[in-house]
Amino acid sequence: MKHFTKLLVLCMTLFVGCSFTLPAQVNALDNHAASTATKVKINKTKVTITEGKTVQLKVTGTKKKVKWSTSKKSVATVTTKGKVTGKKAGTATITAKVGKKTLKCKVTVKKKPEPSPGADYVWIPQHGGTKYHSTETCSNMKGPRQVTLQEAESLGFTRCSRCW
């Protein structure tokens, strides 16, 4: 009877001990799986843009606020929402800080290509409009700017039927 009581106490102790440690281990496994499933990442670690052009950087895997910064404001700037603008030729590092995590993207800015001699130039409206024009006075454009025909077409502009 003494042995039976000791055996019963031992079994009960093991049962109670396991019931407390197993859920803790399962929770630890669940927490580990959750932390690896939501890894904080930046969408680009290296990018090349032309002077005056932009690229959007994004951080995924977090709902925390991201603090953006640039290593060289003269080469590339970045907004509070991660929009990077190329200012002049060179390289800069854009940094995104999320809590203690630091993510980086190397930005190379290339010089804006000079129009080739004899390139066709057209006029496009600064605001609104979908047509390019042979003269700046066609269609009463407000604040027109002159660009190459190739650039106007790449921006989605089509030929004006009045001035062509």
Instruction: Supply the DSSP symbol for 128.
Output: S
pLDDT confidence tier of residue 4, bands split at 50, 70 and 90 = low
Query: How does the average pLDDT of the chain come out, rounded?
Result: 83
Return d(Cα 128, Cα 70) in angstroms, integer. 32
Instruction: Report the 10 Å Cβ neighbour count for 27.
Output: 10
Return d(Cα 87, Cα 102) in angstroms, integer. 24
On the question of pLDDT at 26 being above 60, the answer is: no
pLDDT digits over 35-48, tens only? 555 799 999 999 99
Return d(Cα 101, Cα 62) in angstroms, integer. 11
**What is the reported pTM?**
0.54
pLDDT confidence tier of residue 135, bands split at 50, 70 and 90 = confident
List residues bridging with 109 in a β-sheet. 49, 90
- Find where tokens 């200012």 sit: 87
pLDDT digits over 148-164, tens only? 888 989 999 998 888 76
**What is the DSSP secondary-structure string of 16-46?**
HHHHHHHHHHHHHHHHHHHHHHT--EES-SE
On the question of pLDDT at 65 being above 90, the answer is: yes
Mean pLDDT lowest for which of 21-25, 74-78, 101-105?
21-25
Instruction: Supply the DSSP symbol for 3.
Output: H
